[in-house]
Each structure stands twice: as C-alpha cells, then as structure tokens.
Amino acid sequence: MRGIHSVVDDLRRDVFEEVARLAYEGGDIKRIDQIPYKIVPGEVARYRDSVFRERAIVNERLRLACGLPLRSAAEYGPASLGIEEAAIPEKYYEPPLINVIPFACNACPAKEMRVSSNCQGCLSHPCQAVCPKGAISTDRYGHSVIDNEKCIKCGKCVDQCPYDAISKIERPCAKACGMDAIGSDEFGRAKIDYDKCVSCGMCLVNCPFGAIADKSQIFQIIHAIKSGADVYAIVAPAFVGQFKGATPAKLRKAMRILGMKETIEVAIGADLCTIEEAEDFLDRVPEKQPFMGTSCCPAWSVMAKRMLPDHPEYVSMALTPMVLTARLVKKDHPEAKIVFVGPCAAKKLEASRRTVRSDVDFVLTFEELNGMFRAKDIDFKTLEPDACDKDFDKGTGAGRGFAVSGGVAAAVADHIKKIAPDREVQMEFADGLRECKKMLLMAKAGKRNGYLLEGMACPGGCIAGAGTITPVKVSAANIAKYKAEAEKQSSIESVFAKRLHEAEE
C-alpha cells in the first residue's frame, strides 16, 4: 500500500497544514474548532458512514498534531479543549506517541483464513491433506470450510489450493508491526501494547482507514520561532526528493522562510557516528563481545536491547547522527533551539529521552515539515535560493548513505578498512523489525560472532520511514545520485572528524 497516494495521505497532510497555519497566524487559537468543517465541508460524508464521524476523527488528529492527548468517543469536548497547553515554545511528548483513534478503526479481523467462491470442491482436497490441525472439512457441495477455532494460520492450505481459493486475512497494522504489539480491544478494534511498541510508526502508514496517528510538535516549533528563539534545523540526508523541486539550496531558503535561523545536514553527524562505531567495533569485537549492532535507528536499538537484556552494550553505545549533529550546533550556538527534521517517527521517542532532551528540542517528520511549507505557500518550482545558500552539506557520500538499508554498515566497514587495513569485517544488515529480529536471534545463537550487524526498523531503511512522502524506490535512486555527488566519499575525510571529541562531551 505504501507508495500509492490515497485520501488517507491527504487527510494527514491537510491536518498538518492547518495546524501550521493556525500557529503562524496566531490570534484566537480556539478557532481550531472550525478546521474540521474546512477539511470536511458540507453535509454529506465522503468516506465514512457519517459526516459527523469524519469530523470527529479530524478533531482528534488535530489534537494529536498539536501534541495534545487522544480522547475516546465517550469524552465530551471540542478540539480546542486544553489548546492553551499546546501553544507554548517547548513541549515534550507525553506518552503514548503512537495512538489508535478508536472510532476511526474498522475493527478488521485480527487474522483468519477464508475460503472464497473460487473453491471448486475438488476431489483431492489438498488443503485438507496438508492441514496439521484438521481444521478443514467440506460442506454438502464438497466445498472446503475452515474452522478458525482450530486453525493455526500456518498458511499451508493457501499454498496448496490449485484454484487460489483460500486467502489469509490479516489486520494491515498488525501485519506491518514487527513487534507483534497490536492486538484487539473489547470491540475488536486495534489496540497497541505499549510494552512491546518501539514507535517505528509502520502501523500508522499501513492502516488503510487512517485510524492511527502520532503526536507532533509543529505547534510548539512555530511558537518557538515566533517567540524570537534561534531555531536551527538539522535535516536527515533522506530529505533528497521528498519535496518536489527542492534542491539543497532551495530547501535552505525555504527553511528561512519558515523562520529557521540556519539549516545543517545530519550527514555530518553520520560521518562522526561512522568513526565512533568503527573505533568501538575494533576495540570490542571479538575480544570483549561477540558482535556489535549499529546504534542509529532508535526503534531497532530499543528492540535489540530488549532482546539482549543482559548485554545492552552489544548494541553500539555511539551517539546517533541526530544527537552528534545537534551537539555540534549547540557547541557553536549555546542558546540555539534544535529541530531535527527526518523520515522517522521513532526519532520523536529518542528525542524525548532525558539524556537527549538537552540536545534536541523538537522533531519534525518530512510530512509534517511539508505541512509547514504548504501553510506558508512555498512553491519550490518558483523559489529562488539566495547567494548564501550554495553551501548546504559538508557531509561525505558515506554519511549521506545512512539513509538507505546497508548504508551504515558499509560506511563503518569502509572506515575500518582505512584505519585497520588488515582487519576483515563481516557484516550483515536487515530492514524491517521482523527481519531484524531473525538476524539478532542468529547472533544470540552464536552464528554471527565477529559480525557488525546493522538494523533498520523500516523496510528499505530511513527512506521508508513513517514520516516520508516519496515512494521508497524513487527515494533510493535519489539518495544514490546525491551520495555520488558528494565531494568526499569516505567519513575519514570529513572536515568535522576532528570535532568528534566535542560532540562526545
């Protein structure tokens, strides 16, 4: 479903745009109550059974986009209830970050096998023959019938039916969740187990009903800008191609129009992370630990540490590119407010940690940033960059490559080869938390000793994050081109390498 533009995308982006416009325009912010009527005009529902339900869903999305808590259908109150608490220049996320809007959920079947009218009632009944639980019988016409109480959803019948008459029906959000964190409430609606959830956001971009949303800091960032604070944007290299017509120079100009003091690319932090992880690997593997996992993906890192409760140090302790870049900026501009702009929902969780809060003040996804561009009517096709916008990125090709699956491990291995040419590095990378889990289980079983393991929560890497706009294949091609255009290709050549000790302090 991802990569295909839909009305769900339009709904999300309309909400971000309207929240940004409300914050920029100021005045009576309680006019947020009028926005659902703008997004869902008229008296006839377009997508659901009732126009009132459509507006109620928009109400909750607006509140989440302002960083306010989700409410159930049983709670009374307009969207503006408590809005003053959000209209401040600084506000951290109050858990949970990822939320299911109950009355937007379709209560899809959790998982079951279904026989369609394609069943021909054949004599051989291979579906019955392969069923390990005897869950398949036939009706009086010879058609197969599945007892879902006995069925273990192994899918063997699906594979064996010669008429493709059996299909597995699974809730899309649960299917996308690599942590198996989505179950059902008493009404059959999706419910997140927050003890398992790592906030990767794959559920929210795979729900075809738009019932899942994360909280945003758009409102607070704009209030920080309007308060006169010096807000610096640090932008993940996955930005390439996310905004049509946005060259690096044009992006820098657009960010100034939004009110940002300066824009720096996080590829410089990725280079520092590469150097730090390479040194960690050489120091620790295999003498002190059997393998080492990369640190830059927060959802993977949290999952891995849960799977390795006795050895969390097996995941690199290196600071992430986001934090390293933020620290460099704050070394040069101590009063700066830092907003990380990237593709990832889990970065919001990382930035809310007490150890990171002093470094990163806000997190925006590309989709949320696009809402701010739309609120300011920025058109990249006609936007002309200023002369000062020539020099955007001092990161290397290796740092830019962090955006795609395998890019982190490749950068670290390349750096190791340059500083320890006799050291052979075995590496493996996985994207998508289910695949990451498999890789880590192999490592725990002692089958990846000596390895550098790269985990990315999103299938395809950062370019497939929950906050992206552009299809993954297109983004991958854009990143490959952008990486090749870098003046320097190896992290060892980074002009910021000598400042690593500053960022680590």
pTM of the model: 0.94
Domain that holds residue 133: 111-170
Amino acid symbol at 386 = D
- Domain co-membership, 155 together with 214: no
- Domain co-membership, 312 together with 382: yes
Q: How many helices (H) and strands (E) does the chain have?
A: 19, 15
Domain boundary residue among 187, 219, 251? 219
Distance CA 256, CA 386 (A): 11
Element (H, E) at 417: helix 407-419
Residue 400: φ, ψ to 5°: -65, -30
- Domain co-membership, 246 together with 376: yes
Gap between the terminal Cα atoms of the chain: 44
- 404 occurs within a structural domain: yes
- Domain co-membership, 40 together with 122: no
- Domain co-membership, 142 together with 259: no
Q: Which SS3 state, helix, strand or coil, does residue 141 take?
A: coil
Report pLDDT for 500.
83
Residue 77: φ, ψ to 5°: 150, 145
Distance CA 38, CA 374 (A): 16
**Which residue in the block uniquely carries the two structure tokens 């002692």?**
446
- 151 occurs within a structural domain: yes
- Domain co-membership, 313 together with 283: yes
- Domain co-membership, 214 together with 270: no
- 503 occurs within a structural domain: no
- Domain co-membership, 99 together with 145: no
- 116 occurs within a structural domain: yes
Q: Is the dihedral of CA 284, 285, 290, 295 positive or negative?
A: positive
Here the tokens at position 36 are 């659902």
Here the tokens at position 391 are 């020099």
Contact 425, 267 (CB under 8 A): no
- 395 occurs within a structural domain: yes
| Cα angle 439, 156, 190; round to 5 | 65
- 86 occurs within a structural domain: yes
Distance CA 310, CA 445 (A): 15
Report pLDDT for 391.
64
- 504 occurs within a structural domain: no
Report pLDDT for 94.
84
- Domain co-membership, 70 together with 97: yes
- Domain co-membership, 202 together with 265: no
- Domain co-membership, 70 together with 137: no
- Domain co-membership, 98 together with 116: no
Digit-by-digit pLDDT tens for the chain (505 residues) are: 678 899 999 999 999 999 999 999 999 999 999 999 999 999 999 999 999 999 999 999 999 999 999 998 899 889 999 999 999 998 777 899 999 999 999 999 888 999 999 999 999 999 999 999 999 999 999 999 999 899 999 999 999 999 999 999 999 999 999 999 999 999 999 999 999 999 999 999 999 999 999 999 999 999 999 999 999 999 999 999 999 999 999 999 999 999 999 999 999 999 999 999 999 999 999 999 999 999 999 999 999 999 999 999 999 999 999 999 999 999 999 999 999 999 999 999 999 998 898 999 999 999 999 999 999 999 999 999 987 776 666 899 999 999 999 999 999 999 999 999 999 999 999 999 999 999 999 999 999 999 999 999 999 999 999 999 999 999 999 999 999 999 999 999 998 998 888 877 7
How many domains does the structure of the chain reveal? 3
Show Cβ contacts of residue 372 under 8 Å, excluding neighbours closer than 6 positions.
16, 17, 20, 218, 222, 258, 364
- 490 occurs within a structural domain: yes
